[in-house]
Every structure is written in structure tokens, then in C-alpha cells.
Chain A
Amino acid sequence: MRLHAIILGLCSASAIAFGAHAESITIATVNNGDMVRMQKLTDDFTASNPDIQLQWVTLEENVLRERVTTDIATRGGQYDVMTIGTYEVPIWAKQDWLLPLDNLGDDYDAGDIIPAIAGGLSLDGKLYAAPFYGESSFVMYRKDLMEKAGLTMPEAPTWEFIADAARKMTDRASDINGICLRGKAGWGENIAFLTAMANSFGARWFDENWQPQFDQPEWKNTLQFYIDLMNDAGPQGASSNGFNENLALFQQGKCGMWIDATVAASFVSNPTDSTVADKVGYALAPDNGLGKRGNWLWAWSLAIPAGTQKAEAARKFVAWATSKEYLELVASKEGWANVPPGTRTSLYENPEYQQAAPFARMTLDSINSADPTHPTVKPVPYVGVQFVAIPEFQGLGTTVGQLFSAALAGQSGVDDALAAAQTAAVREMTRAGYIK
């Protein structure tokens, strides 16, 4: 009895001592399937790092962005690891707000990160955020409707083909829209799609002197093409549709084609949620023969703020969550189809993954065809495919997004929307000091 008491006492004492020495790191993250899965698998990390405890803060994307921006700008020190996107990384790295991730361990294999993704997360050749999940955009289409329309989707279609196919596939009586595209206003919503699309039309946000370019014919061609296409073959109320709304339409069999994030492929091909799971084909985002495709590049990545007091523990966690071993861990627990995509070249060479994800090759080709450092046909002074990596872009992008969304809803004409976008952009860029 006494021995039991002594052992119990020793155990309690060591537990208290252990608790007192365990370091707790706070991770701010976004709510998506891959991140939620990571939270469930953290026992694997804490088992091999018993001296580190993990605290999670899961937030909606826009709230997360606002919160981590406030915290990092004021050096609040609330977070030790932040989930940020390709938009924030170059801006924050330039401000010295992030720690460089050049020493994530000998077995980390940073060379395995897909080059296009690594390029978007680096500044001056240094990686400032480790990708947890990467995506581009591509065409998802209904093979049965394409066949019914008497067409065959090429692997790399042109916008002309897409428009023709969309109009032929449209069957209003059967509630089938030839194409579903983003129309909801926002820099991460319709502007992400339209900026990538504009790149393939030869348009650009700014010239080399930061002069806005909405008064140029390339932008008019882009917006006119988009609105005509959506009026002829898009769903009703498209100006309110973002990723989730179009996902629901496609899953319910109401879209012939959908051009959006490559991650959507796993949703539309999942027979539990999608009524058209076995009828979906994939193709690269369209182009106009100008050398740029209308696809974007995005990665949710883990970064360590410069103000953290727990850099070493944070580094260990980032290395674990973005490692090849983590992908294998997910595969062993939940299958290869649930592995976070778009970060490592070796994943796409894995035959098991290729079998579980029929869209794998097209995803990799899409990611590789996006170049955030040279996103447009004409030269530009910025990086970013579907955004311009300057702090002012969030506000300006949303303003322009509202103007384009209003044009799609028929509340204004294409010329009026572009003129208003030009005025807003000139005003903002002058105020911010880009235009002298």
C-alpha cells in the first residue's frame, strides 16, 4: 500500500514537473478539411515531441487574415505558427515579419517542394513559409454532356473552345448551365478568377510604372468575354456565386463546366456528395495562344512570426506538418485520396496516389504552368498570378471585384465598370505613393 502511494506520488510529481516544462505553441489556422485532419493527427507529433504542447485557433479565412495581420504588425506575439497564403508571404517577408525557414532539419528535403509553389513562398531565394497544401485552377467538365454536345475536350483548351462548348452544353429547360464561374465580389473570389483569366488575354493590373491598365483593350476583351459567356451559358444569380455555391451547383449536375481550384476535384469526384462523381473530366485552364493560361497558384502555408518566443518548437512543428512523412501518415490513417495535395513532387510520382486521385497529373501540370514571378504576357513590376502582392491589393481588389460583379449582374456596363476600376486604382495607387 505504501509502495503504491510512493509510486503514485512520484508519478504525480513527474507529471507536474513535465507539465511545468512542456512548451506550448499556438497555431492559427484556417478551417478546411486538410487543416482539420492535421489537428486530429497531432498525437503523432506530440508523441515524438512530448515537451511541446499544441494549441489551435481555427478561424474563417478573412477573420484569420485580419487577426494574424493585426498580431504580426503589432508584434502581439499571440501566435507561434501562422497559416498564411502566397499573397501574404512576399509582403511580410519583405517587412522582416517572418523567420526564414532554411533549417527545417537534415531529413526535411526542401528540394522536393514543387518549384512553382516554393517560388511563391520565397523572397530572395529564401523560403519564408512551408507549404501545407497547394493548388492551381483547372477545368472540370461533365464528360457525358460534352459528348452529347458532340465535342471532345482537349487537354489544353482555348477560351474559344470553352465558350463554344459552354453555349452548346447549356440546356435551360433541364436546368443545365454550360459553365459556372465565380461572380461573387472579393479579391479572393471573382478577382482571383478574373485576374488569372485576364493574364491569358494579355491584360495586366499595372504597367512597369504602376500605372493601372483597366483602360486598355485587353481588359475590355476579358470582361466582355466573361460577361457575354456568363449571360449565355452561366447560372442565374451568378454574381453571388463563389467557390462553395459553384461546388454545390456542379455536384447537383447543374454545370457543364466549372473552372476553379484544383482542390475541388476531390469534392466533385466524391460519390458521397456528388451526383456526377463518375462523369467528371479535367483539363488545363484555357488560354488564348499568348503563352499564359488562365490558371492561378495558391498555397496555404505555415510560417513563423519573427516575434515568437518559441521559434525552435515552432520550427519543429512546421517541419513535421509539411514533411513527406506527414503525407505518409495521412495516407496510412485516411488513405492517399485524403493527403494534402500540391506541395511535394514525390507525391505525384507515387503510384498509389496517382491511382487514388485520377486528377493528380492534371493538378501538377496546372501548378507547374503557373509562374508567380512572371504572371503576365507583358512585363509587370509585381509578383502573384491571381493577385498583386502589395498590401493595398486586398482593398483595391475587393473594390474592383464589386464593380465587376455589378457589371455581371447587369447593374452597369462593361465600359462603365472598367472606367470606375481605372479611377479607383489610380486614386489608390497615387495615395499609396506608387504613382508620383
Chain B
Amino acid sequence: MARTVPTGTKLGWTIAAWIVALLIFFPILYTIVTSFKSETEAIAGFNLVPSGTLESYREVQSQYNYFKPFMNSVIIAVGSTILALLVAIPAAWSMAFSPTRRTKDILMWMLSTKMMPAVAVLVPMYLIFRDWGLLDSRIGLTVMLMLINLPIVVWMLYTYFREIPGEILEAARMDGATLWGEIVYVLTPMAVPGIASTLLLNIILAWNEAFWTIRLTTTNAAPLTAFIVSFSSPQGLFWAKLSAASTLAIAPILVLGWFSQKQLVRGLTFGAVK
């Protein structure tokens, strides 16, 4: 029987949840608000009511063609995610259903690569990209982001796959399913919520990645992170323009997150309750 929660407690938790959510969302909200201010207003101090001017958006658009970095972001984020899933699904399958003595060590090793600061390998990576002709190329950046996010993707998928009873796969095998058929027709459909949330999370991570995307691109492959950084200035007022550029850059991913939140939550809590 379900436990009855008193209305007061429920209300208290709801209010607390709203406060926490607002605190987390506040920097984004203030960025959006600031984008509708003039530069003088933006630097004048805390104020949640903007004058509503679109001047910063006009300036941003006149300085930079938004469409090109937007398309680069889409291609790099989606491309690296698909590539990562293609590699990670078979890898996670083998680790989840055919573990060996070394599986845990391999998983830990993969995760440990995330612990190294990116700047430590900047020069070697730059030289590799230069020698292979990958500087300022979308292919180079797509592969780079795939490799960066691969440990997280493998780990997430491994966790989801572990929740799927092995007996179901055994039954499929007894029914004559091949290895490929087992992965494609049995495992993948059962893990769709997990794969979907991994996909969405990976797109968000790739979209927001700023270290490599700024340093390995110039004009052709520069994504929205490079677009944002071009509006920061050492001398002069730039907060409103920077906020407008940031709003334009995060808008697509915010919309994606909003529409897929049900899927994201479902995927992230997948397997939490057996």
C-alpha cells in the first residue's frame, strides 16, 4: 500500500524543489534577461527587468553569421554522438554480457582518461592535427569529441545493459538469433530509454565542449563556442552582446532538452527500480 504523504510535507518539498531548480537555472535566466538590455544597463548592476532592446542581437548578427557556427555545432555534436554510440554499444554489450577478469579494470582505465586535464595534451594533439591536416576540420573535431565522450557513453550504456536480464538474450539465442541480431533486435529495443538518454546527454556534452572546439578551429569548422568567445572584449562594454550571443548559442540545446526531458529522466532513472 502506498504511504500517504501529508499535504504540508508535499508542499514543503515542492517549494524546496522549485527554489533549487530556480537557483540552478538562474545564471541562464540572467543571461537571457541581460541579452535584452543595452550595454549601459547590463553593467549598471543587478536588475531583472530589461528595457527589451534588441540592439545586442542586431549587433551580434551584423558581426557574425550565426548560421555557419550553428551548422558546425549540429554536425559536430550529432556526428560525434552517433560515432560514439556505434563504438560504445558493442563495447558495452561485451562488457555487460561477456565480462572477463579485466573488464572492471578496462572500465576504470577508460574513466581515468577523463581525469587528465585537457591542456596537458594540447600541444601533442595540435601537432597530430596539424600533421594529419585535421586543423579546422569538422571531421577532426567530430572524432576528437567522440573520443573525449566515449568513456562516459560506454559507462552509461554498460550500466543500462547490466539491468537487462541475461536470460532474455539466452532465449533469443535459443530461438536462433545471431550475435548481430541479438544486439540489434533484442538488446537495443529493450535499452532504448537508456540509449536515448545517453544520446541526448552526449549531444549536450559535445555541444558545450569549449576547450578543443575553440583551440582546434579557425573559420571553417568553428562551432557556437567559438561564436560566443568572439564577443568577449578586454576593453569596452560587451556584456549585453555576449549574453545575446550566449542565448543564441544555448537556445537550440535548451529547446532540445525541454522537449526530451521526459526521455532524459526516464533514461537516467532506468534500472533504478527493479
Contact = CB atoms under 8 A, between A and B. Distances in A.
Interface of A: 26, 28, 30-33, 36, 39-40, 55-61, 63, 66-67, 70-71, 73-79, 188, 243-244, 247-248, 251-252, 261, 263-264, 267, 273
Interface string B60-80: 001110000000000000000
B235 A57 contact: no
B19 interface: no
B44 A252 contact: yes
Interface band, chain B = 20 to 34
Contacts of A188: 234
Contacts of B118: none
A57 B64 CA distance: 10
A76 B130 contact: yes
A66 B118 CA distance: 14
Contacts of B153: none
B53 interface: no
B218 A57 contact: yes
A273 B37 CA distance: 13
Given A74-B126, A244-B235, 19 more contacts: A31-B233, A32-B234, A40-B62, A55-B219, A57-B218, A57-B226, A58-B64, A58-B230, A59-B230, A60-B229, A60-B234, A67-B214, A74-B127, A76-B130, A248-B43, A248-B237, A252-B44, A264-B235, A273-B40
A147 to B, nearest CB: 26
A263 B235 contact: yes
A273 B126 CA distance: 42
B39 A76 contact: no
B234 A55 contact: no
B40 A74 contact: no
A74 B123 contact: yes
A398 B110 CA distance: 35
A73 B232 CA distance: 25
Given A57-B218, A70-B122, A273-B39, A243 B235 contact: yes
A402 B39 CA distance: 29
Given A32-B233, A244-B237, A70 B218 contact: no
14 contacts: A31-B230, A40-B62, A57-B226, A60-B229, A63-B229, A66-B215, A70-B123, A70-B126, A74-B126, A74-B130, A78-B218, A188-B234, A244-B234, A267-B237
Nearest to A189: B234
A78 B43 contact: no
Given A63-B214, A74-B127, A56 B219 contact: yes
Nearest to A24: B219
A57 B215 CA distance: 11
Given A32-B235, A32-B236, A267-B236, A26 B230 contact: no
B238 interface: yes
B130 A77 contact: yes
B135 A76 contact: yes
